[in-house]
Structure 1
Amino acid sequence: MGNTTMHFEGIYTPVITPFGEDHSIDYDAFAAQVQYLVDAGVQGLMVGGTTGEYYVESHEERVKLLEISKQVAADKAIVIFGTGSVNPDHSIKLAEDGAKHGADVILLATPPYSLPTQRELALHALTIDRAANLPIMLYNYPDRMGVNMEEEFFDRVARSANFQAIKESSGDINRLHMLARDYPHIQTACGMDDQALEFFAWGAKSWVCAGSNFLPKEHLALYQACVLENDFNKARRIMSAMMPLMRVLEQGGKFIQSVKYGVTMDGRYSGEVRRPLRGLNKDDKRAMNQVVKTLKTTIASILAEDSAEQ
């Protein structure tokens, strides 16, 4: 397939992995979640992102989740397959199997914990690229990986046309400026929820957002306002309504649990989290309920008002 240019546009959901009481994967619940997202109209699915708890899943589990996603999504959404692992050999194997099982794109992260130099990181990335030969979305998340992908890295991987996008999750707005100005050929995807408006203002066209697991309509509304309608006044109001949710999700290391609880609130099975994480307590749940309710009402009224004016 190599060298197909992908246009990353829209909402890409890093899909949760529902675990049963015994912490095994509930594949039916996963398929139902994928179906829900496809029906809601998200443009892409990310399997094996941080939100999917990839770091506590076996190789076989990760590949099976990819197969189910491809089956359910058919051609209605693109599927991005995460290859992240502490051990680069495992990432190479994931990249190979990703290509074998129909991934449209691979997600390529920094190996966490080892703190590679930019040159080492580039060699790692080029090796994984050779294993899959698919379009690549890079994943820059220094808070979890310990290292940033920097200019030297981008310059070194430029020899392969497969490096087409980057999910930027550093939270550093200066990196967004650098990517937009110095690397316009790499499509920037927002990976830091509370900066979505800024990313769109700087020309990003896609947003990888965990909250779209249970609020796809509202996340799509922001993308539509920014990218399709170029209406940043409306977008600012939508974003403003979303900010309390971002705060709840980002505070205190309960990101994945909160997203899973959001799916539960929405009436689908999201199950347990795997260790070392533990589920939310009553107060967390109450806060989440309140925030989501207000967000939905507020955004619905912004959208209703907007269509009344047209």
Structure 2
Amino acid sequence: MSFKGVIPPVTTPFHADGSIDRDGFCVMVEHLVSSGVHGIIVGGTTGEYYAQSRDERVGLLKLAKTVVKGNVPMIAGVGAIRTEDCIEYALVSKDLKYDGILIGAPYYAVPTQLELANHALAIDKAANLPVMLYNYPGRTGTMMDLEFLDRVGRSANFCAIKESSGSMNQLHALARDYPHIDLFCGMDDQALEFFAWGAKGWVCGAGNCLPEEHLALYNACVVEKDFTKGRQIMSALLPLMRVLEQGGKFVQSIKFGCELAGLPAGPVRRPLRALDDEQKRELETTIRTLKAVIASITAKSQKRASENVIAINA
């Protein structure tokens, strides 16, 4: 299995009392599929899996599968502290016929590189599914460094990595020295740099509320190879990307973006707290501005393309 393109980790809408809004979740999944994204992740950080029980996580994996009906590839997040729990989620995903699994480092445990490799390889051995690694030391406390990559690279199932360390050295090493592991952007404010270095796609939380804009950058850089256009789109996206990566309110911002788009979101689960009114006003202005700018960029590009076709046929 080879993953590519824009793959959002779907949010989990909640009711006011904190229970899962299953109907809202179905709406979110249907929205993403119809928007043209290349796949979805269920059980990612953006979906607040860490604040859900085992039964809730399994229930969402099952529910998403019934909604997607094979229309796009599906990746299941199997993150947990204990290897045994990760294996359980991976086996559930296998039974549900997910296309792959997302493996991160066990948070808080801070394993060595050998321990981390043994953890990932144990999950791989049990499930035998395509694996997208998730390197996010800012959340887990553990970097997936070159020793780890060399060890897990012995299994062909480790076919992709969502790189979220923020380290340009790590980006360069992955692009240059690990071509057999497809590179995915996981640090939103570096998306243009990832695509310049040959990233196959973008795992983007804000793709929940702005799929067209994320697809616009992917298409410009990867499909059209037009990095002049890509820089223009990325410049428009950067104010939002900085809020997401540096503002400390990642999930809250994405859920508010969904609300602005008329999509179900609901509150975040504790211990997180919602955005305040000033943060909402600033975010609304940021989103409204970037949508207008990117729409203008893509419209001008389409007009030039049409004029070129007319000139060729004249």
Instruction: State the Cα deviation string for residues 125-169 of structure 1 (Å, max 9, x = none).
Output: 010011211000000000011111111111111221100000000
Quote the Cα distance in structure 2 between the aligned partners of 1:10 and 1:157.
Answer: 24
> How do 1:221-236 residues align onto structure 2 when only pairs under 5 Å count?
221-236=216-231
Task: Say if 1:171 and 1:192, in contact at 8 Å, map to a contact too.
Answer: yes
> Tell me, which stretches of 5 or more residues in structure 2 are unaligned?
306-314
Instruction: Return the alpha-carbon distance in structure 2 between the equivalents of residues 28 and 291 of structure 1.
Output: 29
Q: Distance in 1 between the 2:85 and 2:291 partners?
A: 41
CA contact (8 A) 2:187 2:245 kept: no
Q: Is the 8 A contact 2:189 2:245 kept in 1?
A: no
1:237 aligns with 2:232: yes
Give the length in aligned residue pairs: 305
**Structure 1 residue 250 displacement after superposition:** 2.3
1:160 is the counterpart of 2:155: yes
- Aligned partner of 1:24 in structure 2 is 19
**CA apart distance, 1:88:** 2.0
User: Structure 1: 5+ residue runs without aligned partners?
Assistant: 1-5
Aligned ranges for residues 7-156 of structure 1 at < 5 Å?
Answer: 7-156=2-151
Q: Distance in 2 between matches of 1:74 and 1:10?
A: 19
Task: Write out per-residue CA displacement over residues 88-140 of structure 1, whole angstroms, 9 at most, x where no aligned residue.
Answer: 22111111111111211100010011111111011100100112110000000
Task: Give the structure-1-normalised TM-score.
Answer: 0.97
What are the equivalent positions in structure 2 for 1:279-290 lying under 5 Å apart? 279-290=274-285
In the other structure, the counterpart of 1:246 is 241
CA distance in 2, matches of 1:260, 1:303: 26
- Contact persistence 2:80–2:106 (CA under 8 A): yes
Preserved contact between residue 205 and residue 223 of structure 1 (Cα < 8 Å):
no
Q: Tell me whether 1:211 sits opposite 2:211 in the alignment.
A: no
Cα distance between partner residues in 2 of 1:252 and 1:234: 27
Residues 1:255 and 2:262 aligned together: no
Secondary structure of the 2:8 match is: strand
Measured against aligned partners, the alpha-carbon deviations of 1:54-102 in whole angstroms (never above 9, x if no partner) come to 1011122112211222221122211110011122221111111111112
CA 1:158–1:251 in 2, change beyond 3 Å: closer, same or farther? closer
TM-score by length of 2: 0.95
Q: Which shifted more, 33-42 or 98-107?
A: 98-107
The aligned residue for residue 3 of structure 1 is: none
Give 1:7 shift. Answer: 2.1
Give a deviation string over 1:192-214, Cα, whole Å, max 9, x none: 00111111111112100011101
RMSD, matched Cα = 0.9
- Aligned-pair identity (%): 57
Is the partner of 2:46 in helix, strand or coil? Answer: helix
**Structure 1 residue ranges (4+ consecutive) displaced by more than 4 angstroms after TM superposition:** none
